[in-house]
């Protein structure tokens, strides 16, 4: 089985040259289990998002990750400009899944 997290990191680093990129495998929070590589949370801060609405940011990330998306169940995206990140300071916590996890 290929490692999904490095695939996400490599693709996003190449496409967006982020100032911050944090990719978390949150599969352990879901019924699929900790080794499933099925649920990921991405926090990305990039100048590429400047002047773009949230939907445009998410679409651009989804285009870059098109091959990966077919291999996973869920992807939570938190996309920020540097100014937004300085004001926000952190991405929100992910909710726990009703179907399992801890």
6-35 pLDDT, tens per residue? Answer: 999 999 999 999 999 999 987 656 556 556
Judge whether 30 lies within some domain. Answer: yes
Instruction: Give the span between the Cα atoms of 71 and 53, in whole angstroms.
Output: 27
Q: Is residue 80 part of a domain?
A: yes
Structure tokens at 57: 């940011």
Q: Which pTM value belongs to this model?
A: 0.82
What tens digit of pLDDT does each residue of 56-91 get?
999 999 999 999 988 877 888 999 999 999 998 777
CATH number of the domain residue 83 falls in: 3.30.300.90
On whether residue 99 sits in a domain, the answer given is: no
| pLDDT at site 29 | 60
Decide if 83 is inside a domain.
yes
Cα–Cα dist 52/81, whole Å:
9
**Residue 81 domain flag:** yes
Boundaries of domain holding 25: 3-88
Strand partners, 45: 20, 80
């Amino acid at each position: 089985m290929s490692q999904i997290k490095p695939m996400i990191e490599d693709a996003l680093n190449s496409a967006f040259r982020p100032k911050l990129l944090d990719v978390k495998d949150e599969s352990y929070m879901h019924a699929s289990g900790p080794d499933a590589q099925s649920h990921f949370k991405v926090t990305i801060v990039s100048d590429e998002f400047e002047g773009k609405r949230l939907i445009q940011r998410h679409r651009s990330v989804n285009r870059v990750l098109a091959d990966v998306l077919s291999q996973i169940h869920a992807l939570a995206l938190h996309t920020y400009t540097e100014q937004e990140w300085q004001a926000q300071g952190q991405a929100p916590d992910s909710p726990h899944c009703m179907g399992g996890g801890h």
